[in-house]
Amino acid sequence: MTPDMELSLPARAENIALVRHAFGALGETLAIDEQLLFDLRLAITEACANVVVHAYADQPPGRLDVLATLLDDELTVVVRDEGSGIGPHPDSPGLGLGLPLIASLAESVQLGRDEQERTEVRMTFSLSDASDHHGGQDDGNLAHAGSSVDERQTDPTMPT
């Protein structure tokens, strides 16, 4: 299915803000619940940060692609790169919470590669039950609900 929005830009840290702004506009246009939009942008930020920090670690920054598709009140966001793939990064500067955080914020998460062997993180968000989203609204705990990561080809010590 053709995405409703595709953004492709160099995988540099400062460009993550540009992605966030684009999704801010998408959220306002679709009248996405404010809390859900916050979570959505946070999850996308984490996925993009993974690309910036890890995907092209030993090479010049390549492309960062972010695609959004809306179908039947479900928003699917794919963050994609052409880098080294997802794997353990013991020297990662992060806390190791990125993917668990994404999993807690999205309805579902899939890690893998597309038909062109590009690495992708595929997240889905339900727009219809925003009030129930991740169940963390009442106690402010982001981590206790949400989805698990579907590891199509991953390692438990994945980067953040």
Partner 1 sequence: MSGPTPAADAMASPEPPGPVSLRVANGPLAAPVLARVVSMILARAACPLDRLDDALILCDAISAYAPSHSRDAHLSFMLATDARAIELRVGELRDGGASALIEDALLPEIGNVIERFSDSRRIEPARDGGGEELVLTFGFGR
CB 77, min distance to partner 1, A: 14
H-run or E-run covering 3: none
| Stretch near partner 1 under the rule CB under 8 A, chosen from 18-26, 77-85, 109-117, 134-142 | 18-26
Q: Which is nearer to partner 1, 26 or 102 (CB)?
A: 26
**Residue 136 engages partner 1 in binding (rule: CB under 8 A):** no
| Stretch near partner 1 under the rule CB under 8 A, chosen from 15-23, 78-86, 95-103, 142-150 | 15-23
8 A C-beta contact, residue 103 and residue 148: yes
In the region spanning residues 81 to 100, those forming contacts with partner 1, defined by CB under 8 A, are 91, 93
8 A C-beta contact, residue 151 and residue 86: no
8 A C-beta contact, residue 126 and residue 58: no
Residue 125 DSSP symbol = E
8 A C-beta contact, residue 22 and residue 7: yes
**Residue 24 engages partner 1 in binding (rule: CB under 8 A):** yes
| Stretch near partner 1 under the rule CB under 8 A, chosen from 16-24, 99-107, 124-132, 137-145 | 16-24
Q: Which is nearer to partner 1, 29 or 131 (CB)?
A: 29
Cβ neighbours, 10 Å, residue 86: 24
CA distances from 83 to 62, 67, 113 (A): 7, 17, 11
Binding site for partner 1 (CB under 8 A): 2-10, 12-15, 17-18, 21-22, 24-26, 28-29, 52-53, 91, 93
